[in-house]
A and B are shown apart, each in its own frame.
Chain A
């Protein structure tokens, strides 16, 4: 038995927002892959659930007339990774949600949940950060848009308020057109569902040089992060091993890994440096560059 007192099956976005705003103890349940694990553990914060599973409009993945890629908050990992729009325009988002746990979890887990639960290891967070996705949020006051940059406010915390419901992610053309992107999840094991380090890079070339690098990590600081220092270093640099080495060096100042039972800080730093090179290189190659 899950320790639940109330389970409200929302009938519309407005209904969900109202239910969420009405009761400050209420929580959204989307795919449930995260919330129900916490309930299994006997967590007390999820006694009052607003279930959005019947809101099929939140499942939609499409491109709008302005060229924005829209990913519904309730779209499952399977739907995202198999969708043509994703494959064509933002494949790295599809790659990042191709997590283990098997089809029975991928069919259920959502990118909305993955981002909104604020996990520092969220697989889709790196890809969202390098594409600087917008979060389109409905609240009782109306619709607002927040960027993923700054959305994670601390370990397990995001800037959602009571009554907020994420409707969809929006990737603007300027944030994917012309970029090559790559993601690598370093886990101790293939079957390991928690990344030791996750890293994504998006590269836009300027001729033979790096025009813009966006580099993001999970499990390398208290929240998923972008690496301003390394990105600055990369600007205008040629596609060479030396550039990759400079990026790898610079990234050390951007991250704050810690020692845990899974891996020591020094090992994490080594992996972070190694991935900076590997992932940046692959992103640049996907943008059409050669080393």
Chain B
């Protein structure tokens, strides 16, 4: 049928079939990339919003036929041009609301519609307008600021600073400046993997296991292969026999190689069984339905208790092998190994014993525990349980692969381009020079995109068929086969003197890694290593035991184990304070780390290797605690007018790291372009965090040039030098430092060249703003120098390079304060106030950092109060959709929700900067649990703190 409608002011005609979905029609036929599908049409994410006759509608809930006769507007209708988007989008960028940017066009459209009805909307009206939009990255607060900025722009006036500035001595570092990739993201330009797909791309769809634990006894693809348009079907019978870990970690990884592209054994509901490569989505789905699989179903292992049991089924029952450090009794351990499970390969020992479902284990300590507990007046021991939590990025996992000049090109939404290249090359049996990985803009990663979930299959299909191949997880697949927060059971034993001085701290962590060992040692260990060093105690012991099971896969998620560890240790200290009758603040002050502390403990907390002791050169905890108390007034009891409603307050101190000193490496090149502008080539992966802006600022600052003269190319294995990737809070510290070193190197080269041109010594010269070499007989603008270099007499274009490695820790600190109300009749908890006080050294992008802190805090408020991946007795996820899993959105945000910086100047960080966002997930659980106790007198020691759990603890039900 034919439809006629108006699209962004242009009359359009289109021939459509009745079942055409309006979102697919607009994105793929009308080429409007920003009308997206984030939730399989269930309507939670809201990035499919369009204006139909001026009113916002969800495009996924319209058929293309229903557009007939309508006026349709998308983000393009708000753009002035593709470099300068409209004012509303500029306001969103300035406010720091455009982070990963995936949903920025939808936010702009929703606010545009509101503002066209109401030029001065209230906070409630803004909340309502955005109540159908999901973002995970900025905690929603920047949207309110954006409306204020927009109003000021419309009135031609100035607007207040969007965030404070921190460095009077610097031009752009430490000052809010619009994010450099903001304009094209907010304008809806092509930027994400799905925007790169050629029309002739084949689709990959995966057949997934209905069983949590089973052997595939037969698989028959013959009927499926007959479906027209099916090119190939990959199963365990014809896939490359190469084992690997999906974890994108530095090689050699502390994660076992315990999976192949397809295995004979399936280890979780949703595990890969087969991949269909077909001309269309429909053909692929049709073929999936015709694959016949028979299973020998085994009993599933669904919890740590299950895994520990004497006669527990073994999740990884194959033989173990070691690249180095095999245990002496390996042959004995392997005696009953089942070859159907495949070999598990360890790069080095990580304390595993698959015969007992143990994926990894480690223990250690300093001092004398017996002595420590003997010195204590009070000893408490408590156990804290966390549950499995999903990352829920707005953009599900996606990859697009193609051949180019005899090489495999992988367009990926990844945090780790170099690890993707290494793994894809390994699985395909190619040398790494035959593989190129291009990190596109990423619509939210949060850790889940540190793992390789689709790249291997799509790259293999491209290599085999020669065709471009595209695959994009459905939201359900995202829930079933992604990586998520490990469930952990953390037991904390504390000894203290009457005055609150800690004499002994013990932390034992049992974690559930699920079917594979990706990140199995490092995440649970991080629960200890990012929480124990907050306290100065001479006697500290820890142990970590990690179990395999048949739950959906776990892996990296912002905080990387620290939220679970922080929940245990911080809440135990709060409980100890009550036990001792000492104010919580006093016990924290008495024991906490401070500037000048030497942390011997860090020696034993390396990532599967010997660590180094840390000298703490910057620590903003004192300021954070003082400011938090000033805002929340812990000593003043909150009063409610409703007798059923109790008010409580709580807080916690937090830390993270800044990358992995001794393990990570970042590299950059900074080039002088022909007209004196700057091109930064940098391996770091900006996953929406503003890392490209950080790197641009480093170069602009070091070279004294305007920020708009700096362009950043990043995360492309052909175009930029090696970087370990965006994980472990390494972006600013590692990639930022590499950019700074490279810019300083270029500065040196510029001055040397200018000195020759001017006949003076380089030491006499300087680069002044805006990019002029001064100190010689004449001023030399960078344009002139660049031109000279590229002329017939010149020495060639100038560039600088920087490689950053370090042994020094730059640890970010913070304190989160919360005030809750608890309705003791219904169990409902509301977060009234939430203040995140954080020390990230110099906040390089203050407005983006604020949003990231709030985003991290809101995620962890969700983890604490509401979110949980729930399995049935057979291991199937019962809530694999956004509206059932239901992460927090704007209506769930704390009423008074603020992030503030406690400025410190770290001597090791670039311009004093430390990491900022990952740490923000560590405070909510202990702070909220302490506040709930303050309100009601009950300790909730298990995530999530549901009304049902609270009412049970209160004895109401």
Contacts and interface: CB of A to CB of B under 8 A. Distances in A.
Interface in B690-732: none
Contact of A40 (B60, B113, B825, B872): B60
A261 B18 contact: no
If over half of A's interface residues share one DSSP class (helix, strand or loop), that class is named, otherwise mixed; here it is: loop
A265 B56 CA distance: 38
Contacts of A41: 40
A37 B43 contact: yes
Contact of B110 (A36, A39, A102, A274): A102
A4 interface: yes
14 contacts: A5-B18, A32-B63, A33-B61, A36-B63, A40-B60, A102-B56, A103-B55, A103-B113, A104-B46, A104-B110, A190-B891, A191-B890, A261-B879, A270-B957
Interface string A178-214: 0000000010111111100000000000000000000
Given A32-B63, A190-B891, A261 B55 contact: no
A104 B132 CA distance: 7
A104 B282 CA distance: 28
B946 interface: yes
B66 interface: yes
A263 interface: yes
Interface string A96-136: 00001111110110000000000000000000000000000
Given A4-B18, A6-B18, A264-B948, A188 B886 contact: yes
Given A105-B132, A107-B56, A37 B18 contact: no
B631 to A, nearest CB: 24
Nearest to B868: A261
Nearest to B59: A104
Given A33-B61, A104-B49, A261-B872, 14 more contacts: A1-B20, A4-B18, A7-B19, A36-B41, A36-B62, A40-B41, A101-B131, A103-B113, A104-B132, A107-B57, A108-B58, A189-B866, A189-B886, A261-B870
Interface residues of B, number: 55
A7 B67 CA distance: 13
B20 A107 contact: no
Contacts of B886: 188-189, 191-192
A266 B952 CA distance: 10
Interface string A248-286: 000000000000010110110011001000000000000
Interface of A: 1-7, 9, 31-33, 36-37, 39-41, 51, 53, 100-105, 107-108, 186, 188-194, 261, 263-264, 266-267, 270-271, 274
A155 B66 CA distance: 30
B947 interface: yes
Contacts of B40: 40-41
Contacts of A32: 61-63, 66
B826 A108 contact: no
- In order of increasing CB-CB distance, the 4 nearest A-B pairs are A102-B132, A40-B41, A190-B891, A4-B19
A104 B66 contact: no
B891 A100 contact: yes
Contact of A271 (B826, B872, B892): B826
Contacts of A104: 43, 46, 49, 56-58, 110, 132
A108 B20 contact: no
B465 interface: no
Nearest to A4: B19
A37 B41 contact: yes
Contact of B826 (A7, A9, A36, A274): A274
Contacts of B956: 270
Nearest to A33: B61
Contact of A101 (B63, B66, B132, B872): B132
B528 interface: no
B336 interface: no
Nearest to B68: A9
A267 B948 contact: yes
A2 B946 contact: no
Contacts of A190: 889, 891-892
Given A108-B61, A267-B947, A189 B43 contact: no
B21 interface: yes
B673 interface: no
Contacts of B55: 103, 107
B292 interface: no
B128 interface: yes
A39 to B, nearest CB: 8
A41 B881 CA distance: 11
Contacts of B872: 261
B851 to A, nearest CB: 19
Contacts of B49: 104
Nearest to B865: A189
B948 to A, nearest CB: 4
Contacts of A186: 826
A39 B43 CA distance: 13
B170 interface: no
B663 interface: no
B602 interface: no
Given A101-B132, A102-B130, A271-B826, A188 B946 contact: yes
Contacts of B826: 186, 271, 274
A108 B55 CA distance: 10
Interface string B224-264: 00000000000000000000000000000000000000000
Contacts of A263: 948
